[in-house]
Amino acid sequence: MQSFLEESIFRLGFSMEDSLPRITVFGKKGVAVEGHKGILSSSDTVVVFRFGKERMRIEGERLKVCEISSDELFVRGRILCVGADNGENNR
């Protein structure tokens, strides 16, 4: 029996072997990012990073990049929004 994650990935046309970026939100307290391609900007209210050709942003309060490696990062703080970034100030 497939897990919900495995079934969802299959329905989207991918397999578990594909190298897909992943974002895991832990309530309003933190965000784990796997597969990022670099932080573009960071402040205590917004963190912008690349996922391949796409840009993503985390918005919140008292944000802090706590851990970072070549493809993983963890942001703590009061998380308000996680989504696509079009390069403009979305707030």
Strand partners, 67: 74
Please write the tens of the pLDDT for every residue from 20-60.
Answer: 778 999 999 999 999 899 999 999 999 999 987 889 999 99
Kindly state whether residue 24 falls inside one of the protein's structural domains: yes
Q: What is the DSSP letter of 12?
A: T
* Residue 8 is assigned to a structural domain of this protein: no
Single out the residue of 75, 63, 65 nearest to residue 31, CA to CA.
75
Q: Please, are residues 22 and 14 in contact by the beta-carbon 8 Å criterion?
A: no
Q: What residues make up the domain containing 54?
A: 20-84
Q: Is 9 part of any domain?
A: no
Look at the chain and report how many structural domains it folds into. Answer: 1
The pLDDT of residue 7 is 81
pTM for this one?
0.77
Residue 90: inside a domain: no
Indicate whether 2 belongs to any domain: no
58: CATH:
2.60.40.2000
